[in-house]
Structure 1
Amino acid sequence: MPALISFFKKAATEDRVLAAEAILEKLSNPSTKLYREFLEYVLPSFTNLNKEMQSEETRIHLLHEKVSGTLKCILECYTKQDYLEATPLSDVQYKDPAKFLPLEEIYLGAKPTAALSGGTHGLNDDQIHNFRLWCLEFFIEAARQIYLRFPLKSHQMKNLRVLDPKVVMGKTIPSIAPLAVSFPLIVRENEVNELDREWRLLHNMDLSEHAGLTASQFWHAISQMRRGDGSQEFPLLSAFMKNILCLPHSSAAVERVFSQVNLLKTKQRNRLSTDALCGLLHAKRTFTDSSCYTFQITPSHLKRMKKEMYGD
C-alpha cells in the first residue's frame, strides 16, 4: 500500500496525470485501507477454491466438502451460529436479515477487527457503518454465487466421496449402492449386489500400503489385485470407480490442452495434421518431469522408429 501511494503521488505531482490524482485520493482515504484488509482476509478463500478446479489430478470426490467448507466459513461471518447449526447448509436462508448477526458483530477479518476495536481506523461512525454494510453485501453476494453454481443438494456429489482412499480405509460407508444406482449406464441392476459385496470385502482388507496414493493411483492398484486363479479380485468395483474418475471436475485441464495446441499450431505450422499435433502433445507431456538429456530411451521407443511412422 505505501508503495502504491508513493507511485501515484509521483505520477500526480511530477507527471501531472489526472487519473493518478483520482487514484491517489482514493488510496489516501482511510476507508480504502480497511476495504483492502477485508479483501485480504476473504479473497484467499475463493483463490483456494479455484485452485481445486485447476488441479490436473481428479478432485471431483472432494468438491462437495471443499465448497461446503468455504460456504460455511462465509456464512459464519454474518449469520447467527445457532441457526447455522440447526439448518442444513443447502437450506440456509442466506439473504434473510432475521438470520443475520447484528451489524457490529459481523466478522470482517483480523486486521479490520483490530483497527476498529483499537480506534486506529480514522473513520467516523457513518463511515464505519457504511463499511460494515459493504462487507455484509459482499458476504451475501459471495454466498449467492456459490449457491447458484454448486448443487449442494445433490446426493451424487456427496456420495462421490467413496472415491477417496481415506474414506475406504475409514470404513465409514457400509454400502456403495446409493452411488451405484445413480449411474445405471455404468452399473446394471443385476450387478449391484456383486458390486456391493466387493466394496464390503475391500473394507476388511489391509490397505495400509496404499495410504499415500491419490484416488486414481489407489483404484488402479485395486484393479491390479488378483485371486489365486489370476482373475481380478475387484473387477466390478475397480471398473466402476475408474469410470467415475473420468467425470471432469472442471474445464481447466481441457483449456490447458487447447492453449498448448494454439502454441504449437503457429502461422508457420498452420497445416499440422491431427496426428502430428497429438504426437507433439504426447511428447510435451512426456517431458514434463524430465528433459531431453535425462530422458531414458527404452527398447519399445526404438521399435517404433520405423518408416511407417511417417505415413505416406
Structure 2
Amino acid sequence: MFFKGWLKACIGDNAKAFCASCKTEFIAHRKSIKEQRNCTKKHLANINKEKEVIHTPKMDKFVKPSISGKRKRAELKIAAYIAEHCSVNAVDHLGKVIGDLDPESEILSKIKLHRTKCTGLIVNVLSPCMLHDLIDDVNHSYFSLIIDESTLIDTTKVMCVMIRYFSKKFRKTRTTFYRLIQLENGTAEHMTTCFINQLNEDGLNIDKLVGIGVDGANSMIGPHNSLSSRVLALVPHLIVVQCLCHSLHLAAENACSSLPRHIDYLIETSHSWFSTSAKKTNEFADLFKTINQRMPKKIPKLSGTRWLARFEAITIIIDQWDKYKLHFEMAKTKYRGSAGYKAEELYNIFRNNENKLYLIFLRDALKDVIHVNKLFQSSSIEPFKLFADLNTLMYSALQKIVVPAQLHKVKNQDLTKYDFKNYTMATDCINFGYYFNELCGKLQSNQNEIINIKNRCKEFLIKLAEELQKRIPKNMQILEKISAFSPQNAKNETKIDDITAIVVAFERILSDIDTTLNEWSLIHRAEINADTSDEFWRAIDLIVDSAGQKRFSNISKLALALLTVPFSNASVERAFSIVNIVKDKLRNKLEVKTIDAILRVRFLMENKCDNFEPTPLMLKKFVSEVVYTGDISDEALNIMEHCDKILNSNMEEL
C-alpha cells in the first residue's frame, strides 16, 4: 500500500529496485526501500508534486470540445425542416424524440436543439448564408424588384421585396424572395428611403436595376410623389410595370356593373349560404347524391380584391343549377326568419332561367381574360411572347363587338388606342356564344326580354373593352418593345421588329449603340437550337471570337437584362400568403427578422429540406457567438475557427 505508485522493478537487474518518482535505482533491500520512502527529501518532494497533479482538474473541465461536424449537419437539417414546415416551438419535442430514437448513436444521442437555438440557427446561420449566396449569384448582373407593402396581424407594416434576375448558377431567369423590410409608416418617402438603404446595405447597385413591379396603389404607382416616381428619378432607364393581374381583375369587375346587380348577389350569397353551415352543406350533398350518384362540387371562396375568382364559382353554379333550385325550394319552407327569407330570394333567382343565361354569357366572356391572367401569374412563362398573348386578348374583346371590316384596318400596336365605339355591330349581329344561343332557343320568355338581355351583355362587352384599353396601355408598350427580342425574331435575317428605340432607352448599360445594333443584325448567323429565351440568350452570351472576346456582349447583356422585367405581382402575393401562415393569431409575437429568415429559407432552399445539405459557410458559422447573437465579424469568425482547430488538436494529444 505504501509502495504503490512509485516502487517499480529494475529492468535488467533483479537485485535492484526503481523509484518512479525520483527516477533513480537503489538496492532492493528493506532498509534501503524504507530510507527511500521516509528520508529522501527529493523523493518526498516528488511525491507531493504528484499528489497536486492528481487533484488538479483536467483541462477538459475548463474547455469543452466544439460540436462535431456531423452533429452540426444534423441540427442544421432539423432547423431547415422546422423553417419550411412548422412552428419553431415544435422543435422542443422533436429534438428529444430524435435523440431517443437511438440512444447508442454517436450523433442522435448528442443532439440538443430547442426553440432558442433553433431560432438562432434559422435567423443567424441559415438565412444569412442563403442571402450571401443569393447576392453572390446576382453579383454584377442586372436585376428587377417586385415590391408590395402590407400590414401584419399585429398591425406591423412591412414591405416585401422579391428579386428577379438571370442566374448563371441555375442558367435561367429566377424570381425569388429578397427581403421583408419593417416600415414605420406607409408613405412613399419612407418606403423609398428604406428600399434604397437596404440595397446599399446589401451591396446591390441601384444603377443595375432594370425594372420594378408594383400594384395599383397610389403610393406605389402614382405619377407624383410615389415610390416608383422617386426611384425613377434616380434610375432614368427604369421600367415601371403595374401588375397586369390587378388590372384584369378591376377591368372585369367594372364591366360587370353593366349586368343586373342580382347576378353578383346570386354568386356571393350562394357561396355564403353553404360556407357558414355544415347542416346546409350536408343537406345539399344528400340531395345531389340522390339525383346524380356522386358528391357535388363546393363553390370556392370568393375574394374581395380578386374578382376573377368568381369564374370557378360561376362554372359550378351553372353545372349544378337545377339542384340548387330544388334545394332552395325545399329550404324556403324549412328555415325560418332571415335564413328562410334568403332561401326564398335565392329560389326566385334560380327558377328564372334568364339569370342562368347571364351566367353562361359571363362564363364564356371571361375565359380569355382568365387565360391571360393565369399566364401572367405563371412562374414559367416566355416573357418575350407575352405581348402576343395580351394583344390576342385585346383583339378578342374588340372582335366580338366591332365591325370586322373596320377592325382589320387597325394595327396590333394600336388596339389600345382604337376608338371602337363608332364601329360597334348591332346587337343581333353579335355572337354571344353557342351555349348562350342554345339556351335562348329553349327559353319561353318573350322576345323583348331576350333582346334586353342581349343588350345588357353587349354593354358588358363594350365596358370590358374600354376597361382593358384604359388599364393596360403601358404594359402593352413595354411588352411590344421587349417581344422583339424573342428567339424567333432574333434568328430571322430580315428582323421584322426594330429595336433601336429600346437600345437608345438603355444606352447607359451599353458600350455603344451602333455596336449593339450591328451585333443584333448578325445574330441570325449563330447556329443555336434553344427552346426558351433563357437558353437562347445565354448561349448567345457565351459565343466568343478567336481572341476569346464575347462576340455579342452588348446585345446579350441587353436581352438578359430585359428578361428580368416583371409583369405581375403574383410572386410577392404568394410571399405574403406564406407570411400570413407563419405569423397567425397563435404566433403573433414573431419578429419581422424571424419571419424574414423563415421566408428566405423556404424560397432559397434549393432541394427542400429532405435533400438539403448545409454549406461549408453554414458549418463555419455554427458557433455559439453567431447562433445566439449573430453579431460577429468574418475576421473574428476565422480566428475562432483557427483557435478551435488548435484546441481540438491539443485535446487529442492529451
Q: Does 1:43 align with 2:361?
A: no
Q: Normalized against structure 2, the TM-score is what?
A: 0.42
C-alpha distance 121-265 of structure 1, shift in aligned 2 (>3 A):
same
| 1:26/1:32 contact within 8 Å kept | yes
Match of 2:350 among 10, 27, 50: 27
Alignment of 1:193-272 (within 5 A): 193-208=514-529, 210=530, 212-213=531-532, 215-265=533-583, 267=587, 270-272=590-592
The answer as to whether partners of 1:30 and 1:123 remain within 8 angstroms in 2 is no
Q: Does 1:161 align with 2:483?
A: yes
Which residue identity is paired with 2:506?
F
Find the counterpart in structure 2 of residue 18 from structure 1: 341
* Alignment partner, residue 609 of structure 2: 292
Residue 104 of structure 1: aligned partner: 428
Q: Distance in 2 between the 1:174 and 1:72 partners? A: 20
The residue type paired with residue 486 of structure 2 is D
1:94/1:140 contact within 8 Å kept? no
Instruction: Name the SS for the 1:78 alignment partner.
Output: coil
The answer on 1:302 being equivalent to 2:616 is yes
Pairs aligned (count): 297
Matched residue, 2:181: none
Q: C-alpha separation between the residues in 1 aligned to 2:535 and 2:478?
A: 22
In structure 2, relative to structure 1, the CA distance for the partners of 1:221 and 1:283 (3 Å cut) is farther
1:176 counterpart = 2:490: no
Equivalent residue in structure 2 for 1:3, among 323, 326, 329: 323
- Within 2, Cα distance between the matches of 1:231 and 1:258? 44
1:78 matched to 2:398: no
Higher helix proportion (structure 1 or 2): 1
* 8 Å Cα contact 1:156/1:182 also seen in 2: no
Instruction: For 2:573, give the aligned amino acid.
Output: E
Runs of 5+ unmatched residues, structure 2: 1-320, 632-654
Instruction: Give deviations 1:76-109, integer Å, cap 9, x for gaps.
Output: 112110011123423432333xx12221111101
Measured in 1, the distance between the counterparts of 2:354 and 2:523 equals 58
The yes-or-no answer on 1:95 pairing with 2:418 is no
Separation (CA, whole Å) in 2 of partners of 1:176 and 1:68 = 19
The residue identity in structure 1 corresponding to 2:456 is: W
Q: Tell me, yes or no, if structure 1 residue 113 matches structure 2 residue 437.
A: yes
1:131 Cα deviation from its structure 2 partner: 0.8
Distance 1:185 1:262 in 2: 40
Larger deviation, residues 13-22 vs 215-224: 215-224
CA deviation map 1:251-284 (0-9, x unaligned): 22222223333433453662252xx555433331
Q: Deviations over 1:60-80 (max 9, x none)?
A: 533332222112112111211
**CA gap 1:261/1:219 in 2 versus in 1, 3 angstroms:** farther
TM-score of the pair, normalised by structure 1: 0.84
Q: Which moved more, 1:41-50 or 1:133-142?
A: 41-50
Equivalent pairs: percent with the same residue? 24
Point out the structure with max Rg over C-alpha: 2
CA displacement at 1:19 relative to structure 2:
1.1
- Give the number of the structure with larger relative contact order, counting CA–CA contacts within 8 Å between residues 6 or more apart: 2
Query: Aligned in 2, Cα 1:184/1:8: closer, same or farther, shift over 3 Å?
Result: farther
- 1:154–1:103 distance in 2 versus 1, CA, 3 Å: closer
